[in-house]
């Protein structure tokens, strides 16, 4: 499958929630992506199948909250709404195969989620999303990327390790549903030349293996 990555829009929420529920069935309450798209710290991306289309979403995009004159001028100046995915997408019918996101806090990007539809796993999509997240974090001037992952989640830990994340801590009983431990992982400085060189190599290898050339994440 050929796919591309872009920022998440409101019209994606239905499909993203579906993928979230499939990937994290026991997590309660479910993540609220409507809320996340309003959160200025949060940045979410989706991977879409280049060829497949689905029916128009059945949820209506929620109107944007009104901002005061100064705030809306600043948002316009930096094209903030477009960057956050608050503008309507050109096509509302793309088929989303996976999504990922992080919160930026100071110089740290904290990955909140990464998930691929079950039927599309092991086809390089999770890796594509991680590459895009790392590049987006670097563009937003993050220095490190961190996350928590279930101790039993070998697939995700292996993906993160491939991209230079190492275990830096353990939160005992972190997951509320079953009290499983959370492994804290972190990258080294992502702006360092050594990290960037590794990223380039991994990206090239991924592109060669899967035939997907990742462009800069489009809005
Ligand atoms: C983790 C996840 C996003 C990986 O997505 P994916 O598209 O299947 O992964 P890819 O095909 O891009 O694989 C990339 C790398 O991930 C690792 N990986 C993926 N699936 C794996 C598995 N089942 N076992 C071991 N390693 C695995 C490997 O290192 C792989 O690199 P390789 O191909 O060189 O071996 C996917 O399994 C998923 O959605 N899981 C449920 C949600 C989740 O647990 N998210 C993590 C929350 S912290």
pTM comes to 0.86
Tell me, what's the pLDDT at 1? 84
More confident call, 71 vs 5? 5
Q: Is ligand 1 within 6 A of the CB of residue 67?
A: no
Distance 113 CA to ligand 1 centre (A): 13
Instruction: Give the position of tokens 């060669």.
Output: 208
pLDDT, mean of residues 118-135: 97
Predicted confidence (pLDDT) at residue 116 exceeds the cutoff of 90: yes
Most informative mutation of 26, 116, 159 for ligand 1 (most atoms within 8 A of CB): 159
* β-strand partners of 103: 42, 110
Q: Break the chain down into helix, strand, coil percent, rounded to 5.
A: 35, 25, 40
Examine residue 29 and say whether the peptide bond preceding it is cis (omega within 30 degrees of 0): yes
Does 85 have pLDDT greater than 70? Answer: no
What integer is the mean pLDDT of 90-113? Answer: 90
Tell me how crowded residue 32 is: count the other CB atoms within 10 A of its CB.
12
DSSP 109-171: EEEEEEEE-GGGTTSSHHHHHHHHHHHHHHHTT-SEEEEEEETT-HHHHHHHHHTT-EEEEEE
- Bridge partners, residue 171, by sequence: 182
Tell me if 154 CB under 6 Å of ligand 1: yes
Tell me the sheet residues that pair with 166: 186
Q: How confident is the model at residue 217 (pLDDT cuts 50, 70, 90)?
A: confident
pLDDT at 212 over 90: no
Q: Which of 87, 108, 148, 180 is catalytic?
A: 148
Residues 6+ apart with CB under 8 A from 207: 213, 214
What own/partner pairs with CB < 8 Å and gap ≥ 24 does 150-156 have?
150/175, 150/180, 150/181, 150/182, 150/183, 151/180, 151/181, 151/182, 151/183, 152/180, 155/121, 156/114, 156/126
Active site residue 174: no
Instruction: Report how far apart, in Å, the C-alpha atoms of 80 and of each of 9, 46, 55, 72, 87 are.
Output: 13, 18, 28, 9, 10
159 lines ligand 1 (CB under 6 A): yes
Instruction: Tell me how far the alpha carbon of residue 217 lies from the centroid of ligand 1, in angstroms.
Output: 21
171 touches 181 (CB < 8 A)? yes
């Amino acid at each position: 499958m050929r796919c591309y990555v872009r920022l998440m829009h409101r019209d994606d929420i239905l499909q993203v929630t579906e993928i979230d529920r499939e990937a994290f069935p026991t997590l309660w309450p479910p993540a609220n992506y409507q809320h996340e798209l309003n959160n200025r710290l949060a940045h979410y991306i989706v991977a879409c199948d280049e060829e497949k289309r689905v029916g128009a979403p059945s949820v209506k995009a929620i109107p944007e909250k009104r901002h005061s004159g100064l705030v809306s001028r600043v948002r316009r100046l930096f094209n903030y709404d477009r960057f956050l995915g608050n503008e309507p997408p050109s096509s509302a019918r793309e088929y989303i195969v996976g999504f990922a996101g992080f919160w930026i806090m100071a110089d740290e990007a904290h990955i909140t989620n990464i998930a691929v539809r079950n039927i599309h796993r092991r086809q390089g999509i999770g890796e594509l999303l991680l590459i895009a997240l790392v590049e987006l974090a670097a563009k937003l001037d993050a220095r490190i990327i961190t996350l928590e992952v279930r101790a039993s989640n070998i697939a995700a830990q292996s993906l993160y390790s491939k991209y230079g994340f190492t275990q830096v801590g353990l939160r005992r009983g972190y997951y509320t549903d079953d009290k499983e431990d959370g492994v804290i992982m972190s990258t080294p400085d992502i702006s360092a030349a050594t990290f960037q060189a590794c990223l380039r190599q991994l990206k090239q290898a991924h592109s060669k293996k899967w035939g997907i050339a990742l462009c800069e994440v489009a809005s």
